[in-house]
Amino acid sequence: MIRIAAVGDVHVDKDVLGRFRPALEELPERADALLIAGDLTRHGTVEEARCFVTEFGGLGVPVVAVLGNHDHQSDQQARVSDVLTESGITVLEGDTTVLELHGHRLGIAGVKGFGGGFAGASASNFGEREMKDFVGTTEVIAERLENALKSIEVDALVALTHYAPVPDTLLGEPLEIYAFLGCYQLGRAIDAAPTALALHGHAHHGSERGRTPGGVPVRNVAHPVIKQAYNVYQLLTEHVDAELVAS
């Protein structure tokens, strides 16, 4: 069994320091790795990235993250990634990492993702150059995720994104903004590989549980949704949905 702790949208700034740390100190007893589904910071500054490292670094388990839209706000995303990487946190964007845990190989493929909408209500790569650029960005990112998921052979495979791959986990959000919260291309990429679990954030008012068209369990782990420091999901058991509550 592999136990994955996950959370997203923690939006760390100096005023958040200490809020998550007490629960995180217990993490090695509850989980084998921590995955963070983007929006690590509030405005994507280097100073906030250092605050994030203070709160989420040195936990005694591997920490793997993708960036979110907030982490791009100040156009310092490369420097934000560097701060995290230098602290030992793995940041994914179209690539993978493999963790050896209890004799099993856990593979994680991650991208930030992008918007565009879902079946029956999605943007198309047609018309003005601005629209083609928007949808083209989504398609490129989804292709990177698919290629990353297909590139590794592991015992359990997890897709980590910030934007949602399915509309199920957006229930509770206004329908008018679904296209800005995720896209069907991410779900299609996840279904193209033997993915065991997909994790995302971004939808603060959404729902936790969903599935891709191909049946892969999807979990919205945005902190405002799960309402705790992290959820824990078990892999390589009969039921991926088994969750260990961590306050």
pLDDT in tens, 16-41: 999 999 999 999 999 999 999 999 99
* pLDDT higher than threshold 80 for residue 241: no
- For tokens 């399915």, the residue is 166
Q: What is the per-residue pLDDT across 150-187, written as a single tens digit (0 to 9) for each?
A: 999 999 999 999 999 999 999 999 999 999 999 999 99
* Alpha carbons 33 and 181: distance in angstroms, whole number: 26
Q: How many Å apart are CA 34 and CA 153, to the nearest integer? A: 21
Angle at 93 between CA 72 and CA 96, to 5 degrees: 155
Position 29 scores a pLDDT of: 95
pLDDT of 199: 98
Cα–chain center distance at 227? 16
Q: What tens digit of pLDDT does each residue of 110-147 get? A: 999 999 999 989 999 999 999 999 999 999 999 999 99
Spatial contact of 164 and 170, defined as CB atoms under 8 Å apart: yes
Q: In angstroms, how far is CA 80 from the centroid of its own chain?
A: 16
Q: What is the pLDDT of residue 137?
A: 97
Q: Does residue 113 sit in helix, strand or coil?
A: coil
122/102 Cα distance (integer angstroms): 42
The helix/strand/coil state of 91 is strand
Confidence of residue 238 (pLDDT cuts 50, 70, 90): low
Q: What is the dihedral of CA 206, 74, 10, 112, to 10 degrees?
A: 60
- What pLDDT is recorded for position 112? 98
Q: Single out the residue of 235, 152, 139 nearest to residue 189, CA to CA.
A: 139
Phi, psi of 74, deg, nearest 5: -95, 10
Q: Does the predicted TM-score (pTM) go above 0.85? A: yes
- Tell me if 197 sits within 8 A of 234, measured CB to CB: no
Report all structural domains of the chain as residue ranges with CATH numbers, in order of start.
2-246 (3.60.21.10)
For every residue of 24-38, DSSP letters joined together read HHTHHHH-SEEEEES
Q: DSSP secondary-structure letter at 183?
A: B
45-84 pLDDT, tens digit each? 999 999 999 999 999 999 999 999 999 999 999 999 999 9
Q: Which of 179, 165, 139, 146 is nearest to 220 (CA)?
A: 165
Residue entry with tokens 């791959």: 165
The confidence score (pLDDT) of residue 236 equals: 82
| pLDDT value, residue 246 | 34
- Radius of gyration (Cα) for the chain, nearest Å? 17
Strand ranges in the chain using DSSP code E only, listed in sequence order: 2-7, 33-37, 63-66, 90-91, 95-101, 104-111, 117-118, 121-122, 156-161, 197-200, 209-211, 217-220, 230-235, 243-246
